[in-house]
């Protein structure tokens, strides 16, 4: 399928919203890929972190369907090394927030192995609620 690019998309409401929530200039990213190179969780992602920014830059809303934004653990390795100072964890958060506010919920504690649930530290559950639910 050919993706239609137009000003309504690349400077459209989705891009504006992502930039507003994250406080980042999407186009500051020149796609060098250093974030993807250093991301510790990248193996579990279906899109590379730089591709997530890329899709956001182009206003591709289907970026919300990827698992990458939910796999990102906000470890901040990428922003520590980003040559352009792009705060990718904030971008990921913005995308999560947009999805969550549309009613997506990603945390299902019932699906966790009960023995694990019993053991996990409280802050993992609190953090999980903050990141994956609304």
Partner 1 sequence: MNYRALVIGAGIGGMQAALDIADSGYEVFLVEKDPSIGGHMAQLSETFPTLDCSQCILTPRTVEVGQHPNIRLLTLSEVVAVESGARPESEGTLTPALSQGERGGHFRVRILRHPRYVVEEKCTACGDCAKVCPVVVPNEFDRGLAARRAIYIPHPQAVPAVYRLDPNACLGLFPLACGKCGEACERQAIDYDMAPETVEVDVDAIVVATGYELYQEEAVMAYAYMDHPDVMDGLEFERLLSASGPTGGKLVRPSDGKVPKEVVFIQCAGSRNPEHGLPYCSKICCMYTAKHAILYKHRVHDGQVYVFYIDIRAGGKGYEEFVTRAMEEDDTVYIRGRVSKVFPRDGKVVVWGVDTLTERKVEIAADMVVVAAAIVPSARSRRLAEVLGIGVDEFGFYTASDAEMTPVESGVPGVFLAGAGLGPQDIPETVAQASGAAAKVLVFFEAEKAKRRKDTDRQD
Partner 2 sequence: MGIPYYPGCTLSTKAKNYDRSGRAVAAALGGDGRFELEELAEWQCCGATFPLMLDDSMALIAPTRILYQAQQAGERVATLCAICFNVLRRSQALLKRDPEMLERINWFTEQEYRGDVTVVHFLEVLRDDVGWEALAERVVRPLTGMRVAPYYGCLLLRPYEEIGLDDPEDPVILHDLVRALGAEPVDFPYNIECCGSYLTVKDPQVSETLSKDVVASAREHGAQVIITACPLCQFNLDYPQRETEAGRTGNEIPVLYFTQLMAVALGLPEETWGFEDHYVDPGQTLRVSENP
Partner 3 sequence: MSRIGVFICHCGINIASTVDVERVAEEVGQHPEVVYATDYKYMCSNPGQQLVKDAIVEQDLDGVVVAACSPLMHEKTFRRTAAAAGLNPYCCEMANIREQCSWVHQREPARATEKAIEVVQTVVERVSRDEELEPFRLPLTKRALVIGGGIAGMEAALDVANAGFPVVLVEREAHLGGKMARLSGTYLNLRAAPDLLERKVEQVLKHPNVEVWTEAQVIGVEGYVGNFEVEVSGKVSGFKLGEPETLKPETMTFGVGAIVVATGWDPYALERLPEYGGGEIPDVVDGLTFEGMLREEGGLRRPSDGRVPREVVFVQCAGSRDPERGVPYCSKVCCMVVAKQAISFKERVPEGQAYVFYIDIRSAGKGYDEYVQRAMEEHDILYLRGKVSKIFRDGDRTLVWGADTLSSRPVEVAADLVVLATPMTPSRQALDLAQTLRVGVDQNGFFSEAHPKLRPVESLTAGVFLAGAAQGPKDIPETVSQASGAAAKCLQLFSQDEMTQEPTVAYVVEELCSGCSVCVEACPYDARAIHPVRGVATVNAALCQNCGACVVACPNKASRIYNWTPEQILAMADVIVGTCRRVR
Residue 42 touches partner 2, criterion: CB under 8 A: no
Confirm if 21 and 93 have CB atoms less than 8 A apart: yes
Which is closer to partner 2, CB of 1 or CB of 116? 116
Contacts 24+ apart (CB under 8 A), 104-113: 104/64, 105/132, 105/133, 105/134, 106/70, 106/132, 106/133, 107/131, 107/132, 107/133
Residue 36 contact, options partner 3, partner 1, partner 2, none, Cβ 5-8 Å cut-off depending on partner type: partner 3
Residues making up the chain, counted from first to last: 134
**Minimal distance, residue 74 CB to partner 3, in Å:** 17
Q: Is 46 in the site for partner 2 (CB under 8 A)?
A: no
Q: Which residues bind partner 2 (CB under 8 A)?
A: 20-23, 40-41, 43-44, 70-71, 73-77, 79-80, 87, 89-90, 92-94, 97, 106-107, 109, 112-113, 116-117, 119-128, 130-132
């Amino acid at each position: 399928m050919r993706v239609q690019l137009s000003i309504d998309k690349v400077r459209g409401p989705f891009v504006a919203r992502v930039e507003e929530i994250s406080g980042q200039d999407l186009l500051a990213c020149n796609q060098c890929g250093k974030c993807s190179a250093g991301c510790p969780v990248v193996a579990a992602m279906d899109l590379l972190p730089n591709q997530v920014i890329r899709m956001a830059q182009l206003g591709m809303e289907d970026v919300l369907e990827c698992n990458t934004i939910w796999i990102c653990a906000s470890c901040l390795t990428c922003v520590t090394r980003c040559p352009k100072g792009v705060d990718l964890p904030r971008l990921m958060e913005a995308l999560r927030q947009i999805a969550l506010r549309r009613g997506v919920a990603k945390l299902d504690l019932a699906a966790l192995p009960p023995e694990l649930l019993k053991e996990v530290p409280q802050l993992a559950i609190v953090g999980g609620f903050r990141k994956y639910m609304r």
